C-alpha cells in the first residue's frame, strides 16, 4: 500500500481517482474523447480543455482538422455526455506566433517544417500544461498514441504498442519535466478499432468520426496557397536547374517544392527521372538531379532534446533514428557537438533528408524514445 492506504491508481497517484484531478486536452476527435470518457468512468475528477487555435469563423467550415470550430462543438458534446466540465481557451495569438509564423518562414527558407511538433512543444505541452497546473490538476492526459513508463531514472517515453498508430516522431521534444506531468492512456492499445469500440461503449457522438489528415490550418494540404496568404509575394517565379547547370524550365515559386519530390516538378521529355535535390531560395532556383544525389549519410541537428539516461555530451551514442515520420528507424551513431547540437551518422545512407524535418532517436533495441533534434542545413 502507498501512503494514505491507497495503491497507485491507473494514473500513478497514491490516492483514489475521485481525489485525482486530470485535465484532458480534447481536440474533438475520437482519441482524446475516449481518454476523457474512460477516465471519467473510472471516477477521476476530469476537466476537458479544448484550444481554439485559429480563426473560428474560418474553422466552422473546415471538418477533419484537430482545432476547427466543429471539433470544439464535438468536444463539448462529449463532455456533456459524460458529465464533466469543459472549457475552450482562445490561443489564436499564441498559435500564430509560435507555430504558423515559423511554418511560413521555414518554407520560405527552403525547409520542410513539421508544425504539429512545434504545436505540441510550444502550445499544448507548454501553455496548456501550465493552464492544467493552474487548475490544480495532478496531471494532463492526451489522446496521443505513445507510452510512458516509470524507469530507473524517472519517466521514460516509449513507442505505442500499435506501430501503425505510433506518434513518437511528433513528440520527441517533450522534456523530462513535461513527461513527469503527462499521461497517454491510449498508448497500450493495439488498434484503432479498440479506440472506436470504447467510444461506442460510452455512446460518444464522435465514435465514427473520421481521423484528421491535414495540418489544421492547411486545407487540403495546399501549403503554397496558405504561405502566399501569410507572406504575399512568396511565390516569385524562377528557374528549374539541373545539378550540372542546365536550365530545364521555369517554376511558379520555390515554396511549391520540397527536397525529394519527383512528381509535379514541371519538366518533361527527359530520359532520366529527376528529383528535387536542393532549394536555392535566394536565387529562386529549384535544383534537380538523379536519385543518388539525395542519399545522405551525415545529418546535422539543432535544438536536441535528450531523453536518454546519463549525460548527453559524455560521448557518442548507438541509436536508431527516424528522419521522416513515415520511415522505419534505422541504425546510426549520435555524435554530440554541444549541449543541444549533434551530428547523426547513418550506417546506411537515407534519401530525402530535408532541413526542417525532425530526426528522432530510439534505443538500439526495444521501444524507448531517446529524444531527437531538428535537421539543419549542412
> Known catalytic residues?
119, 216
Between CA 266 and CA 264 the distance in angstroms is 5
For residues 182 and 17, the answer to whether their CB atoms sit within 8 Å is no
Rounded CA Rg of the chain: 22
Q: Name which of 63, 30, 43 is nearest 201 in CA terms.
A: 30
Residue 336 pairs with which residues in a beta bridge?
342
Report helix angle 101-108 to 223-230, nearest 10. 100
- Residue 205 half-sphere exposure, CB side, CA atoms within 13 Å? 14
CB 157 within 8 A of CB 170: no
Angle of helix 69-82 relative to helix 30-41, nearest 10 degrees, comes to 20
- Please say whether the beta carbons of 141 and 35 come within 8 A: yes
Amino acid at each position: 500500500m502507498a501512503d494514505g492506504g491507497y495503491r497507485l491508481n491507473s494514473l500513478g497517484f497514491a490516492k483514489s481517482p475521485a481525489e485525482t484531478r486530470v485535465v484532458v486536452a480534447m481536440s474533438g476527435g475520437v482519441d482524446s474523447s475516449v481518454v476523457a470518457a474512460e477516465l471519467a468512468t473510472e471516477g477521476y475528477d476530469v476537466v476537458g480543455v479544448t484550444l481554439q487555435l485559429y480563426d473560428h469563423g474560418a474553422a466552422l467550415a473546415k471538418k477533419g482538422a484537430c482545432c476547427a470550430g466543429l471539433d470544439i462543438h464535438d468536444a463539448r458534446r462529449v463532455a456533456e455526455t459524460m458529465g464533466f466540465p469543459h472549457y475552450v481557451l482562445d490561443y489564436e495569438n499564441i498559435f500564430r506566433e509560435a507555430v504558423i509564423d515559423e511554418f511560413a518562414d521555414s518554407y520560405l527558407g527552403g525547409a520542410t517544417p513539421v508544425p504539429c511538433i512545434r504545436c505540441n512543444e510550444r502550445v499544448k505541452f507548454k501553455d496548456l500544461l501550465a493552464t492544467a497546473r493552474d487548475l490544480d490538476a495532478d496531471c494532463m492526459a492526451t489522446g496521443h498514441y505513445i507510452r510512458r513508463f516509470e524507469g530507473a531514472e524517472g519517466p521514460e517515453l516509449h513507442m505505442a504498442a500499435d506501430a501503425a498508430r505510433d506518434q513518437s516522431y511528433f513528440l520527441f521534444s517533450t522534456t523530462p519535466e513535461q513527461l513527469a506531468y503527462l499521461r497517454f492512456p491510449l498508448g497500450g492499445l493495439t488498434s484503432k478499432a479498440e479506440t472506436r469500440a470504447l467510444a461506442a461503449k460510452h455512446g460518444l457522438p464522435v465514435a465514427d468520426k473520421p481521423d484528421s489528415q491535414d495540418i489544421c490550418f492547411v486545407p487540403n494540404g495546399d501549403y503554397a496557397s496558405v504561405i502566399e496568404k501569410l507572406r504575399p509575394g512568396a511565390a516569385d517565379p524562377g528557374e528549374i536547374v539541373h545539378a550540372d547547370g542546365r536550365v530545364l524550365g521555369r517554376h511558379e515559386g520555390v515554396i511549391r517544392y520540397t527536397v525529394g519530390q519527383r512528381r509535379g516538378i514541371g519538366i518533361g521529355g527527359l530520359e532520366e527521372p529527376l528529383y528535387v535535390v536542393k532549394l536555392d531560395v535566394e536565387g529562386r532556383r529549384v535544383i534537380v538531379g538523379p536519385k543518388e544525389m539525395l542519399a545522405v549519410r551525415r545529418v546535422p541537428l539543432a535544438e536536441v532534446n535528450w531523453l536518454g539516461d546519463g549525460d548527453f555530451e559524455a560521448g557518442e551514442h548507438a541509436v536508431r533514428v527516424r528522419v521522416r515520420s513515415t520511415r522505419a528507424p534505422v541504425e546510426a551513431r549520435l555524435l554530440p557537438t554541444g549541449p543541444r547540437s549533434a551530428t547523426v551518422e547513418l550506417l546506411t545512407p537515407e534519401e530525402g533528408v530535408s532541413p526542417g524535418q525532425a530526426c528522432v532517436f530510439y534505443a538500439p533495441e526495444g521501444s524507448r524514445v531517446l529524444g531527437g533534434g531538428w535537421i539543419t542545413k549542412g
